[in-house]
Amino acid sequence: MEWNYNDIKKIFRVDFFKYHISRVFTIAEKNVKVQIRFKFNLIYSIINPFFLIFLSLIILSKFFDMGAQFGRWDENNYYIFLFIAYNIELLLRIIQNFPLEFRQEKFWKTLPALMIAPFNKIHFLLGIFLSHLIIISSYSIIKHIAF
């Protein structure tokens, strides 16, 4: 496949980006509304990663209070490793929720409408990913405002 100037120019037009971003935000908005409808699942999906990282923080702080060292980890830098582990855990949970999102769409009988809707499957995946990031970031903002 050979690219010419007009093909590249078409990709970098503002309308091209507006079209794809609007599709992703539409899916994200719909998914956030569905997630807010189920309060327990929403709270559990937000709290569980924090709970896991909090337990790891307590356990590792007790080890490092005794002067222990595990490889490159010591009492000065294990927070960085926990932060990286938390981000990996968060992304893993979001990725593992994709099949659940499809089941919810099937339960609400909106899956056939999504299949014939004028957007690509990548729009759906990016919309779900963005909606989870919006939910998690809104929880963090509310937590900082409340406390």
The whole domain housing 139 covers: 5-146
DSSP symbol at 64? H
Residue 102 pLDDT more than 80?
no
Is it the case that residue 27 has pLDDT exceeding 80?
yes
- In this predicted structure, what is the pLDDT of residue 129? 83
pLDDT band at 36 (very low <50, low <70, confident <90, very high): confident
Predicted pLDDT at 145: 66
Contact 104, 52 (CB under 8 A): no
Q: pLDDT tens for residues 65-88?
A: 777 777 777 777 777 877 787 778
Task: Specify the pLDDT at position 91.
Answer: 79
pTM, rounded to two decimals: 0.59
Estimate the share of the chain in helix, then strand, then coil, as percent rounded to the nearest 5.
80, 0, 20
Number of domains in the chain: 1
